[in-house]
Structure 1
Amino acid sequence: MSTEIVQLVEQAGPYLTSAVSAYGAAVWTRAENAVVEGTADLGRRILQLVWRRRDEQGQAELEATVQDAAEAPGDDDAAAALRQQLKRALRDDAELRAELTRMLPAPAETVTVTASGERSIAAKIIGTAVTGDNTTMKP
């Protein structure tokens, strides 16, 4: 399985869980709702996108998985089954992968900064930093 699919599923997972928590099995019929948190609404749109691209059997499987997740909101296995459905759909459909990539917000940049030793400074962006004893700064 491609890294791209794994990353998309990891990124979309919280949106799916939020949608199922907010809408339950009604995720298929609910219209966009500005009152509902944006995360849940994006998850609803992702689920509907995947559902529309599947055949009757695939739609029934996805509906059953959403129903299971809605009935057990804290169940990690139910959430994992939902992510697995998304993974399967993405694996089989390059156009769906592209559309989902456009829907999801860009992943946040991860930065690791390490400082080691006495008077060390660790920063991603820094203007002026001074460490040490009796340091004088000149303009």
Structure 2
Amino acid sequence: MSTEIVQLVEQAGPYLTTAVSAYGVAVFTRVESAAVDATATLGRRILQAVWRRRDEQGRAELEAAVHDAAEAPDDADAAAAVRQHIKRALRDDAELQAELARMLPAAGETVNVTAAGERSIAAKTIGTAVTGDNTTIRP
């Protein structure tokens, strides 16, 4: 197994754990919500990307691993089983490996975002943000 795959999975680990804890197996069908923590959202996106690229058996196995990890959030072996599925998927799919590398922050990259004060917004990236009263947004 390549060092790059191991590093990607290690880097994705906290995101995966948070997503599994927040969503359980619903992680595969859940849509993005602005109210959800960014870490859980990234973990969900990673798991969905892997799940979409697996065959029916691979999807079922990944779902079972996620279910087990969600049922026992303190079980390191259950979390490791999810990571093992991610490693296997990455090993078999170079395009998926590149996709996950683009999703994850660069190694060593730290992002600190702070908002202070009334109606403040803090985000690394943002689509539309509204803090005013009686605002109308038009596409």
For 1:55 and 1:40, locate their aligned partners in 2 and report how far apart those are by CA, in whole Å. Answer: 24
Q: Does 1:68 align with 2:80?
A: no
For 1:28 and 1:9, locate their aligned partners in 2 and report how far apart those are by CA, in whole Å. Answer: 18
Q: How many residues align?
A: 109
| 1:26 to partner: Cα distance | 1.1
Percent of residue pairs bearing the same amino acid type: 80
Q: Does 1:3 align with 2:3?
A: yes
Q: Which residue of 1 aligns with 2:93?
A: 93
Q: Which runs of 5+ in 1 are unaligned?
A: 110-139
How big is each residue's C-alpha offset from its partner over 1:118-138, in whole Å with a ceiling of 9 and x where there is no partner? xxxxxxxxxxxxxxxxxxxxx
Q: Which residue of 1 aligns with 2:15?
A: 15
1:42-61 matches, cutoff 5 A: 42-61=42-61
Query: What amino acid maps onto 2:50 in structure 1?
Result: V
SS in 1 for 2:22: helix
How big is each residue's C-alpha offset from its partner over 1:14-49, in whole Å with a ceiling of 9 and x where there is no partner? 110000011112111211011111000000010000
SS in 1 for 2:44: helix
Q: Which runs of 5+ in 2 are unaligned?
A: 110-139
For 1:94 and 1:44, locate their aligned partners in 2 and report how far apart those are by CA, in whole Å. Answer: 20
For 1:30 and 1:48, locate their aligned partners in 2 and report how far apart those are by CA, in whole Å. Answer: 9
For 1:4 and 1:75, locate their aligned partners in 2 and report how far apart those are by CA, in whole Å. Answer: 26
Q: TM-score normalised to the size of structure 2? A: 0.77
Q: Indicate the larger mover: 7-16 or 21-30.
A: 21-30
For 2:17 and 2:91, locate their aligned partners in 1 and report how far apart those are by CA, in whole Å. Answer: 20
Higher Cα radius of gyration: 1
SS in 1 for 2:105: coil
- Structure 1: which 4+ aligned runs deviate by more than 2 Å? none
1:81-120 matches, cutoff 5 A: 81-108=81-108
SS in 1 for 2:35: coil
For 2:86 and 2:39, locate their aligned partners in 1 and report how far apart those are by CA, in whole Å. Answer: 17
